[in-house]
Structure 1
Amino acid sequence: MSLDPQTSQLIRLALEEDHAFQDVSTLWTIPEAHRAKALLIPRAEGVLCGGPLFAEAFRLLDPSLVVNVFIEDGGTLAPNVPVAEVVGAARGILSAERVALNLVGRFSGIATLTRRYVEAVAGTGARICDTRKTTPLWRGWEKIAVRMGGGTNHRANLEEMVLLKDNHVALAGGAGKSLLAVKERNSRGIPVEIEVDTLEQLREALEIGVERVLLDNMSFEQLRKAVGMTAGRAILEASGGVTLETVRAIAETGVDLISIGALTHSAPAFDFSLEVGGMRLARGKIL
């Protein structure tokens, strides 16, 4: 997978932030000619995401390094089964190690957490989706990670879709006024969603006509009533305080989407290690 120039630049900036090209610990202790082989080892079950980023970190630091990733993003990780190898100059491997691990750990963590939510609602028809609660400049890859875990992406940016949140509605003078204002200006026909936190607001939105409705912090009973009221006239998205313990019950109310900010803002980094060893020649000498 080839990376876009912006992503490569972000990885380069991460290496520069770490002063990886001036790694005194490595430069002062490891001979320039020393070669090594490193294996990327997962310590738990999970979902891989960020393999190309892992490889790019090493290649940017030392283009002579050879990186092989054994499985594609979205593939299953098994404990202690290597998923990638890096071969070449030991200095380059050691100096890029932390940035490479940070990247693959971050995005595999998101993919793995997403998979847990997706599995929790299996068979209900509800889809798990993300939000815009993402790391600045890394939103694209965080949303890729959600897809790798089996989730669905919500809007990528503020231009892609109209989402009238509670503050829009309040400042515009109500749900009805805000929706009518959008209808008058939406010449491009972009998707429209409105956030409601009461069944009365939902009724008003449905009477005017809207494609999607975000049901904010509603109880299970309110969600069931909202599904009945809507009767398929709009896509219903449940949001607010969703956890692995509650997501199944939310899905069973009949909503179409469940959006979870925690997928990207609270996913724990996946536990990888990079095991490095010297390369042994046929005659037994370690380089």
Structure 2
Amino acid sequence: MTPLPRIMIEPLVRAALLEDLGRAGDITADAVIPEDTTARVAFVAREAGVIAGLDCTAIAFLLLDSTLTLDVRIPDGKTVAPGDVIATIEGRARPILSAERVALNFLGQLSGVATATSGIVTAIAHTRAKLACTRKTIPGLRALQKYAVRCGGGANHRFGLDDAVLIKDNHIAIAGGVGIAVRRARQSVGHLVKIECEVETLDQLTEALDAGADAVLLDNMDLAALQNAVTIIGGKAIAEASGRITPETAPAIAETGVDLISAGWLTHSARVLDIGLDFMT
């Protein structure tokens, strides 16, 4: 995986460390561990999954002590089995202990996103559909979570309100209809900006296509409606399905012929991957 630039990651990790260190630093490590004590520890997978977030982990340690040595054995985007050593870190014990929780928080959360993504990607691999995330991310962590989705084999939807038009149900209700909303967007944005419109019925779908939408978000449609929608679209726009996407439901949804499946829970509710930090003798 191509890593994110350090300048994007460091402020987030620095803020997490400052939150944890509080007003007096790590009073436990400072009291219990002699200053010159060294240690070697390993990040060990407690369960199977896909790794993401090792750059965050490295920065967490190095911000507290730039002399620490990190050895990555299983990089981002690769799978792990229970007991696998993901990385080791060696050097002064105090900063290792002080950065431990922040490092594990990032690594576990982002690996959880990557693992959840990989599960659905695998489930729909026999189709042409791709899995995409959404803007339903933990505040402040969007770039990291979307990176984790890529580590799991998924694709990224828009990153923010400014990089694509996505006309949703409330836009439609306030604007007065699908057609008028899409036409207004087409008149307003530049030629490089894509326009997607959420639709809940086949009549709305036809209206969106007639108005020139580049993509349509088929929201919470059943399988029969999705199949009809794909036929109506006929390649004139990108077909994206959303709603009730799980590893169990995704295959049948993908088999309807949609181009994309999007799931918000990949980033806002993915279960943390269980990873521990073990002392090595």
1:272 matched to 2:275? The reply is yes
Which letter maps to 1:112? T
Rounded to whole Å, the distance in 2 between the matches of 1:187 and 1:41 is 49
Match of 2:89 in 1: 86
2:246 corresponds to: 243
Task: State the secondary structure of the residue aligned to 1:37.
Answer: strand
In structure 1, which of residues 52, 63, 66 is the aligned counterpart of residue 66 of structure 2?
A: 63
Counterpart mapping for 1:132-147 below 5 A: 132-147=135-150
Tell me how far apart the structure 2 counterparts of residues 226 and 184 of structure 1 sit (CA, whole Å).
26
Unaligned runs of 5+ in 2: none
The partner residue of 2:110 within 107, 114, 121 is 107
Whether 1:13 aligns to 2:41 is no
Percent identical among aligned pairs is 47
Moved more, 168-177 or 5-14: 5-14
**What residue is the counterpart of 1:282 in the other structure?**
none
Report the Cα offset of residue 240 of structure 1.
1.2
Question: Given residue 136 of structure 1, which amino acid in structure 2 is its aligned partner?
Answer: P
> How far does the alpha carbon of each residue in 1:162-199 deviate from its partner, in whole angstroms, 9 at most, with x for none?
00001111111101111111111123430110000000
Report the equivalent of 1:200.
203
The answer to whether residue 120 in structure 2 is matched with residue 117 in structure 1 is: yes
Provide the aligned length of Structure 1 versus Structure 2. Answer: 278
Q: Which moved more, 1:145-154 or 1:1-10?
A: 1-10
Matched, 1:25 2:25: no
Query: Could you give the per-residue CA deviations for residues 136-170 of structure 1, whole angstroms, max 9, x where no partner exists?
Result: 12101100100110001000111100000011111
Does residue 154 (structure 1) correspond to residue 157 (structure 2)? The answer is: yes
Task: Verify: 1:169 aligned to 2:172, yes or no.
Answer: yes
CA distance, structure 2, for counterparts of residue 137 and residue 188 of structure 1: 30
SS at match of 1:189: coil
- Which of 43, 48, 62 does residue 46 from structure 2 map onto? 43
How far residue 99 of structure 1 moved from its aligned partner, in angstroms, is 0.5
Distance between the aligned counterparts of 2:191 and 2:212, measured in 1? 17
Secondary structure in 1 aligned to 2:85? coil
Corresponding residue for 2:189?
A: 186
Aligned AA (1:171): I
2: distance between equivalents of 1:187 and 1:64? 49
Alpha-carbon distance in structure 2 between the residues aligned to 1:186 and 1:13: 36
Kept in 1, the 8 Å contact 2:136–2:267? The answer is yes
- 1:225 aligns with 228
Structure 1 match to 2:79: 76
1:172–1:2 CA distance, 2 compared to 1 (3 A): closer
Question: Cα–Cα, structure 1 residues 151 and 161, in superposed 2: closer, same or farther, change >3 Å?
Answer: same
What one-letter code is carried by the residue in structure 2 that aligns with 1:236? A
Looking at structure 2, the residues matched to 10 and 233 of structure 1 have their Cα atoms a distance apart, in angstroms, of: 41
User: The residue matched to 1:18 in structure 2 has which SS?
Assistant: helix
8 Å CA contact 2:199–2:219 kept in 1: the answer is yes
TM-score, scaled to structure 1: 0.94
Moved more, 186-195 or 136-145: 186-195
Q: TM-score, normalised by structure 2?
A: 0.96
Among candidates 258, 266, 271, match of residue 261 of structure 2? 258
Cα 1:78–1:159 change in 2 (3 A) is same
**Unpaired runs of at least 5, structure 1:** 279-287
Structure exhibiting the larger radius of gyration computed from Cα positions: 1
Report deviation, 1:2: 7.1
Q: Distance in 1 between matches of 2:4 and 2:122?
A: 30
2:71, 2:88 within 8 Å by CA — same for their partners in 1?
yes
- The Cα shift of 1:277 comes to 3.7
